[in-house]
Amino acid sequence: MPYAEITGWGKCVPPAVLRNEDLATFIDTSDEWITTRTGIKERRVLHCNLSDMARVASLHALAAADLDPMEIDLILLGSLTSDSQCPNTASIVADQLGARNAAAIDINSACTGFLYGLHLGTNLIKTGAHQKILVIGGEFITHYMNWSQREVAVLFGDACGAVVIEASESETGMIASRIGCESDAKYAIQITNVGSGYSRLTDDFLYNAWNFEGQEVFKRAVKAMAQASADVLDQAGMSLEDVKLVVPHQANKRILDALAKRIGISEDKVFVNVHKYGNTSAGTIPVALAEALEEDRIKPGDHILMASFGAGLTYGAGLIKWSNRVSPLITCDAELPPCEKTGLEIIASHVDRYKKHSLESVS
């Protein structure tokens, strides 16, 4: 049975920055509160569509693997913030890339979308059903944000990453993985007022409100990611000493510290970029992976542990054995269309819309 080697990787982060201080201009919050509770200093705001970010990240990943889009036979796109319900975003990305031989599937498991995709893609390659798969994870979460809810608005940002996995005889890629879901607690993170579960006849329809049990999710995230990590190490017959780097979901620096403590690994072995981007949901792991490679944090043959947690409440972990190559075969200069606006300017009309709606609801 072949392995699924990661042969390409890429990221796309939008240029417009939204700093903690910018949020404090219209929400009752402060840089001090956000930094001490989450470690986040700033996040990015997208000025186009999720598919545009996915296209750019994918072009980088395809170049790194030196593959033509026509060689890809499946695209798995993890996201909860699709361009549209129909067509699915994976199809839009396939068309933009010219990946005419690829099947295209969206995976909505929220923050775990990329890890779920890598688990599924790896196993499809192992069975021989597919040979070359593009796995994408990304989010345009600012589009779905309720900017009057300070307890969530400060946590999230937009970004996207992608990897190419290819059938290989050498023992590399995701060598052990486990995914799961604590569905009994599904409403601990909930985005309301969009979808067929909500009546179109109410004034609230399409005004998203987030139900968000932050402390409950925090506790469950640490526990589930630690357990899934232990399970994949067991599966692979390895221990934490074999792991060179942990590339976890980036939701909150305090969650990362608690995870490191619970699994018993030193904090310097945990890759962290949550301070720059906030929680980009399905985008966090592939973006962190691409940055870990850019920063020479991954060496040939290293074992990398990934762990994730998100709405659903979905969770998972994967153990990756990196191949012999840690640099792209070809570099690529694809980028998003230029953006003249600041993060604050992009969201301004959206913020006003929510302000107006909450005033109307009160009166």
Q: Give the span between the Cα atoms of 359 and 354, in whole angstroms.
A: 9
Catalytic residue among 249, 252, 273, 303: 249
The nearer residue to ligand COA, 144 or 218, going by C-beta atoms, is 218
- To ligand COA, the closest distance from the beta carbon of 266 in angstroms equals 22
- To ligand COA, the closest distance from the beta carbon of 280 in angstroms equals 11
314 makes contact with ligand COA (CB under 6 A): no
Q: Are 78 and 116 in contact (CB under 8 A)?
A: yes
- At 146, give phi and psi (nearest 5°): -100, 105
Whether residue 111 lies in the annotated active site: yes
3-state helix, strand, coil in the chain (%, to 5): 40, 25, 35
- To ligand COA, the closest distance from the beta carbon of 254 in angstroms equals 7
**3-state secondary structure string, 245-306?**
EEEECCCCHHHHHHHHHHHCCCHHHECCCHHHHCECHHHHHHHHHHHHHHCCCCCCCCEEEE
Whether residue 146 lies in the annotated active site: no
Which of 221, 222, 259, 298 binds ligand COA (CB under 6 A)? It is 221
Residues 105-144 that bind ligand COA (CB under 6 A): 111
Whether residue 279 lies in the annotated active site: yes
Q: Using DSSP, state whether 114 is helix, strand or coil.
A: helix
Residues 229-268 that bind ligand COA (CB under 6 A): 251-252
- To ligand COA, the closest distance from the beta carbon of 309 in angstroms equals 5
- Binding marks (x or -) toward ligand COA, 147..176, rule CB under 6 A? ---xx--x----------------------
Instruction: Give me the torsion for CA of 279, 282, 288, 294, rounded to 10°.
Output: -130
Q: Give the span between the Cα atoms of 47 and 31, in whole angstroms.
A: 24
275 makes contact with ligand COA (CB under 6 A): no
Size of the site for ligand COA (CB under 6 A): 19
Paired residues of 168 in beta bridges: 3
Please give the residue ranges that form the binding site for ligand COA (CB under 6 A): 29, 33, 37-38, 111, 150-151, 154, 189, 214-215, 217-218, 221, 251-252, 279, 309-310
